[in-house]
Chain A
């Protein structure tokens, strides 16, 4: 429990991350409470993905604090965080193309030892995404883009995350597929009680599912608020929502 009463899952505090000499995050701070969906919005190169990489240790921050469930996880390895229920679905889906859909999903449950639980979760995913059930024996690489994104999210879910980090789930997908993906995100949040951090360029849709959002520009958080506040904000509308 965080000091202010709310169940704070993740808090990052003045995090600065560098790629070589380039400062990608210039002191970013935000927090997520239990069962929230938070969106981080911004244009290309704003540092959204770096934010996620800094949290999961793929791009360790040079200074600042990353506190997950009350513990500073700065410098922890990506794979050890999965054990603690912090799972990232990386940008560009990154499924294993030569493994079957079922094997891809099994990889998501790599660290789990409860066979029955894994089986139940597999069933849950197959009922949520019947298309994945139909393609269970097929190589992951033969799926379409939307199916691959569903697979990537499902694979993340197979680890029974307490918190799920989604990096641009709408990337390169058709609008109708994107809508489907966002419905799923909302559903996961409600049914699985999973806290979700969503990084997106598609601000319009992201704000429709998220509870709160942060807007990033060039390595800094420039605006934050609840989704409805941001949707009605004149500046946000002009800059990110196309009018």
Chain B
């Protein structure tokens, strides 16, 4: 997962280097050449697969291979599923029915599904190669776009477009409660809570690379802080918001100090266990009211104004509000919207700060980090604790929104959900996490039509996503590459392959190329060296 940031470049790099130098390059280029065929070197390739001579035989062979794979998987699945599909206990007569007729159907479906699956896989791999080759091949047009995946994103980098888009989005989000139904607002609040959670976990997992499977516990701490302080001391939302964040941070520190000596899988298991302990304590301890939870958690107050009594008739009278809308929920909506904005700002600043760079470096090489003077434990601890803070904040808002919390709200599935948001959206990418949260929260709502099957479809989408776009919806790219072609420089060779030991030294050294050549942007005039 950690190599996601450069997977795009990794694919573009070797092929562009090979095409630019006009000669068989390093070993990486050779791998691509196999798929791309000889056309990779001459002009823009139209259909690389069909180009090589004698391809008919090869095609037939490949087809036979595909068919064989499909037959094997069909046979295997049929065998595995035999008892499930064929045998049925007929309890009325105390005997077993054998439904052999189902078997061929199952085999046929599996066979076709395998063929389709393998075709799709091959096409994905193929299109990646093609993208890389065409990127290096023809001279790019004026104002050239990056590879397909980036083009629409690069639009956002242009300042005016970005600003306009941002303003439109802000206006849209701010106006939503005044023209939609209460249901939509509730869904949006949930989505925004998950965005906050995702962004918080993104600091821990995406940026610092610490796999935390117990994030639900920190969310729960925030919620329970509010619940308990309200039922015990009568404290309100605004007092509890910072306290919830603080208690989550403290818990993060307390857990982090002993645990952060572990790394990778071990850390994941310990955090997972910790979250379970937290949940079981909530269930079994008296003062949290056990599994019955805490009820009647109040909505946030707004300078003591009775929103539903005083303001609502006024707004509804002007047709600005759905008649069933609960203005307290609208207030929560605006609060969580503000929290998300604040989170985005903080996370963005953090990622580009000294500390953020230390986290990124820590993810890559701990020994080198120590040699730079980075205190490993302290840097990890900060990431862990800061990540927990957002969970605490979100927890308080969550408690206030659903007014009733119980240990069941903070189970392992919640941690998994938030982690899925981060991974699906794109690790280390702020817009990625936001879109990931929106998709994962909204998708099940859209799929309500399918009733029982919706979680099945949901899971299927996740699997397909990870196969075809493992780097996430919007992969994390922290840097903008500027491409400034310098005359005479054989530009394209600059971003050579990752293991440029042999091939980088030769062609690269004499090119003083553009100060920051662009692995992402078109590889410039492909001058054969």
Contacts and interface: CB of A to CB of B under 8 A. Distances in A.
A94 B368 contact: yes
Contacts of A58: 367, 370
A144 B376 CA distance: 28
Given A99-B357, A137-B482, A56 B494 contact: no
Interface string A70-101: 00000001111111000111100011111110
Which of B354, B364, B369 has most A Cβ within 10 Å?
B364
A133 B515 contact: yes
B495 A142 contact: yes
A21 to B, nearest CB: 23
Interface string A170-188: 0010100100000000000
A103 B357 contact: yes
A80 B365 CA distance: 18
Contacts of B498: 97, 141-142
Given A78-B371, A134-B513, 9 more contacts: A56-B371, A58-B370, A79-B374, A80-B373, A97-B364, A110-B373, A139-B9, A143-B504, A155-B372
Given A90-B371, A103-B357, A139-B9, A134 B495 contact: no
Contacts of A108: 372
A27 interface: no
A117 interface: no
Which of B13, B360, B371, B509 has most A Cβ within 10 Å?
B371
A159 interface: yes
Contact of B512 (A78, A100, A134, A159): A134
Contacts of A96: 360-361, 364-365, 368
Interface string B471-515: 000000001011000000000001111101101110011011101
B499 to A, nearest CB: 9
Nearest to A97: B364
Interface of A: 56, 58, 77-83, 87-90, 94-100, 103, 106-108, 110-111, 130-131, 133-139, 141-147, 155-156, 159, 172, 174, 177
B497 A142 contact: yes
A77 B376 CA distance: 10
Contacts of A88: 371
A98 B375 CA distance: 20
Contacts of A147: 504, 508
A131 B515 CA distance: 10
A135 B509 CA distance: 11
Nearest to B498: A141
B358 interface: yes
A139 to B, nearest CB: 6
Interface of B: 3, 5-6, 9, 13, 354, 357-358, 360-361, 364-365, 367-376, 479, 481-482, 494-498, 500-501, 503-505, 508-509, 511-513, 515-517, 519
Contacts of A78: 370-371
A107 B367 contact: no
Nearest to B513: A134
10 contacts: A88-B371, A99-B361, A110-B373, A131-B509, A137-B481, A137-B515, A138-B516, A141-B6, A142-B519, A145-B500
Nearest to A135: B494
Contacts of A98: 3, 5-6, 360, 364
Which of B370, B372, B482 has most A Cβ within 10 Å?
B372
A22 B365 CA distance: 26
A174 B357 contact: no
Given A82-B371, A89-B371, A106 B365 contact: no
A180 B517 CA distance: 25
B360 A99 contact: yes
Contacts of A111: 372-373
Nearest to B363: A98
B505 A145 contact: yes
B9 A79 contact: no
A82 B372 contact: yes
Given A134-B512, A142-B13, A144-B508, A83 B497 contact: no
A71 B495 CA distance: 46
Nearest to A88: B371
Nearest to B362: A96
A94 B367 contact: yes
Contacts of B515: 133-134, 136-137
B372 A110 contact: yes
Given A78-B370, A82-B372, A137-B479, A143 B500 contact: yes
A131 B496 CA distance: 14
Nearest to A108: B372
Contacts of A107: 357-358, 361, 369, 372, 374
Given A82-B373, A137-B479, A138-B494, A95 B504 contact: no
B361 A83 contact: no
Nearest to A84: B373
B501 A172 contact: yes
A87 B374 CA distance: 12
Given A82-B372, A137-B515, A110 B358 contact: yes
A130 B9 CA distance: 24
A135 B496 CA distance: 11
Contacts of A77: 370, 375
A135 B513 CA distance: 8
Contacts of B13: 142
Nearest to B376: A79
A144 B371 contact: no
Which of B5, B6, B373, B501 has most A Cβ within 10 Å?
B373
Given A141-B498, A146-B505, A136 B370 contact: no
A172 B357 CA distance: 28
B365 A94 contact: yes
Contacts of B368: 90, 94-96
Nearest to B5: A98
Contacts of A135: 494
A80 B504 CA distance: 36
A95 B13 CA distance: 19
A6 B481 CA distance: 50
Contact of A138 (B364, B495, B511): B495
A177 B505 CA distance: 9
A23 to B, nearest CB: 23
